[in-house]
Structure 1
Amino acid sequence: MTNAGAWDARDRDTEGRARSARPRDGLGRPLPYGTEGVPRQPEGVVRAPAETVAEAQALLDAGKPFHAHEVFEDAWKSGPEAERTLWRGLAQLAVGLTHAARGNAVGGARLLRRGAQALAEWETGEGEDRPYGIDLAGLARWARELADRVESGDLPVDAADEAPRLRS
C-alpha cells in the first residue's frame, strides 16, 4: 500500500480531520475494531463551568480520567482566555492520572506536576483560591503526592481509588 493509500484509509471526521473511530477502554487505550469499548466523550461541547466540574468529577469517580480530560479540554478550548490555564491544568491532572493508571511513571508524574504548577499559577495569578468551588490547593497537593508515589514505583494506580475531589 502506498502512503497515499494508508492516508486515505485513516478514520476521518466530517471535515476531513483524522479521528480514530477505534473503541477505547476506560483509560482511553485503543481497543481492536469491533470490540465494545467505553462510550467516548463528544468533542467540542460547550458547558457551563459547574457542568464541566460535575461531569469531570463523575468520570474521575468512575475511574475514567482520560474521559474527564476530554471534558476539561473542551472547557479550555471554548472558555474565556483568562481561564485557559485553569482548565488546561485540570486536564493535565486527569491525563497524569491516566498515565499513572496505565503504568507510565514518567508521563504520569510529569503531567501531574505540570498540572499542579498550572493550578498554582492560576491561584496566585488570578487571586482566586476556589474558582467554581474547585479546591486548587488541595488538587495541587494531591497531584504532587501522587507524582512522588508514582516516581517511587507505586504503579499502576487504580484510577477510581485515586480519583481526586475537585471540590472539597
Structure 2
Amino acid sequence: MNSTPRDRDDDGRARSARPRDGLGRPLPYGEKGVERQPEGVVRTPDETLVEAQRLLDAGMPFHAHEVLEDAWKSGPEAERGLWRGLAQLAVGLTHAARGNATGGAALLARGAESIGPYVSAMPYGIDVAGLTRWAGALSDELRREGAVVPAADRAPRLRAGR
C-alpha cells in the first residue's frame, strides 16, 4: 500500500498539486511549472475559443484541453459532443507532442468523430471541416511515422479565417 498522502482539493477530491510543464506532465514538487488553468470556469463560447486557441498557439494543448473541458461540462447538452470532441483533439495533440503516437492518433480520430455532426452548422465559427481534416492528416502521420510532434507548430486553427 502506498503511504504517500494524496493531494486533495477543498472538497476532498484527489487533485495533484505538483507543478506541470507546458504539456501537462507532472514535475517534481518544488520545481517551477507553468500556471495551471483553473477548473470549472464558465466562459462564453467566444471566451473559451479565444483562450483555447491562445494555449494551442503557445504549445500548451493539455491546458487548452482543460479550457475546452470546462465548456463541455458546463455547456448546453446539445453542444456537449462538440466541446468534448474539441477537448479530445487537444489531448490528441498533447499525446503526439509527448511522443505517444498511438494514443495521439486514437484521440484525434475520436475527437474528429465527435465534432463531425456539427460540420454544417459551424457553431461559433468553429471550422469543423478544417479540424476534421487536420486531425485525420495528423493521425495518419502519427500512425505512419510515430514521430514526436512540436505542439505549437502543429496547433490547429479552431475557427475559420482566424
Bin of the TM-score, shorter chain as denominator length:
over 0.9
Structure 1: give runs of 5+ residues left out of the alignment: none
Q: What residue number does 2:133 align with? A: 141
Which 4+ stretches in 1 moved above 3 angstroms?
none
Distance in structure 2 (CA, Å) of the matches to 1:51 and 1:109 = 28
Matched, 1:58 2:54: yes
How far 1:151 sits from its partner (Å)?
0.8
Q: 1:167 corresponds to which letter in structure 2?
A: R
1:105 matched to 2:97? The reply is: no
1:152 maps to 2:148? no
Structure 2 residue runs without a partner (length 5+):
none
Within 2, Cα distance between the matches of 1:16 and 1:154?
39
Q: Amino acid of the residue matched to residue 134 of structure 1?
A: I
> 1:11 aligns to what?
7
Does 2:144 correspond to 1:121? no
For 1:17-96, what aligned pairs fall within 5 Å after superposition? 17-96=13-92
For 1:58, the aligned partner's letter is R
Q: Give the whole-Å Cα distance in 2 for the aligned partners of 1:16 and 1:122.
A: 37
> TM-score of the superposition, structure 1-length normalised?
0.92
Aligned length: 160
Q: Once the two structures are superposed, what CA deviation does each residue of 1:7-54 show, in whole Å capped at 9, x if it has no partner?
A: xx1000000000000000000000000000000000000000000000
Deviation string 1:62-88 (CA, Å, 9 cap, x unpaired) is 000000000000000000011000000
Distance (whole Å) between structure 1 residues aligned to residue 97 and residue 145 of structure 2: 12
Deviation string for 1:99-125 (max 9, x for gaps)?
Answer: 0000001100000000011111233xx
The CA deviation at 1:154 is: 4.4
Between the aligned partners of 1:90 and 1:47, the Cα distance in structure 2 is 15
Letter aligned with residue 83 of structure 1: E
Once the 2 structures are TM-superposed, how far is the Cα of residue 153 of structure 1 from its aligned partner? 1.8
Distance 1:154 1:32 in 2: 28
Query: Cα RMSD over matched residues?
Result: 1.1
